[in-house]
Amino acid sequence: MPEKIDRILVSPARSVQVRRIVVAVIGGMLVLGMLLYIVAGLGRLDYLSRILSDPVGAVSIARLAREPIPVDVSYDLSGTLAPGQTFYSLSRGLGLTAGEVNAAVQAAKPIDLTRLAAGMPYRATMEPSGRVNRLELRIGGTWVSLAWEGGRVAVSEAARKEGE
């Protein structure tokens, strides 16, 4: 009797059939696992994006606890033009767009902002976001102020005295 069982279990036809079943079960489990992993990952991404964009929630409150509270302050930067530095490169380095720089050059005429000397002092006032809203240049002993407001550039003589 044991010989008959051995012949049934180890017969070539039965062996191929068992292998096919085992491969099909393992392959199906792998495919199902990958699908569940993808679905869970996509769901998690959607959940995370919803939490991060939502102003209220446990994660956003914890995130606010880690980040500093924004305060309405302005930053003042000052320096002098480096040799070879132009008004354009200074302004672009401060984060102004090409359109804002060109508008400032046009608004400041008859002052030629494209021909500034090296060593010329400047001051920039920035919003908390880092956007420059005022740039002052010392031209000919007076401070010339360029202020960007609502897409326009206002040019005026700065109210600062010579000694400042």
Residue 131 lies in a domain: yes
Which of 18, 33, 66 lies at the terminal end of a domain, its last residue? 66
* pLDDT for position 23: 92
Residue 83 sits in the same domain as residue 131: yes
Do 87 and 131 lie in one domain? The reply is yes
Closest CA to 117 of 145, 160, 93, 81: 81
CB 148 within 8 A of CB 100: yes
What pLDDT sits at residue 4? 63
Instruction: Mark whether 35 and 56 lie in a shared domain.
Output: yes
CB atoms within 10 A of CB 53: 9
- Among 66, 84, 111, the domain boundary falls at 66
pLDDT of residue 25: 94
Question: Bigger pLDDT: 150 or 85?
Answer: 85
61 and 88 both lie in a single domain: no
Structural domain of 20: 2-66
Provide the β-strand partners of residue 5: none
Cα–Cα nearest to 89, from 111, 129, 116: 116
Confidence of residue 94 (pLDDT cuts 50, 70, 90): confident
Q: Do 50 and 102 fall into the same domain?
A: no
The CATH number of the domain where 99 resides is what?
3.10.450.350
CB distance 145 to 157 below 8 Å = yes
User: Quick one: DSSP state of residue 122?
Assistant: E
Same domain, 60 and 82: no
Q: Is the pTM of this model over 0.75?
A: no
User: What is the total count of domains within the chain?
Assistant: 2
- 97-128 residue pLDDT tens: 888 888 888 888 888 888 888 888 888 888 77
DSSP structural state of residue 156: E
Query: Is 101 a domain residue?
Result: yes
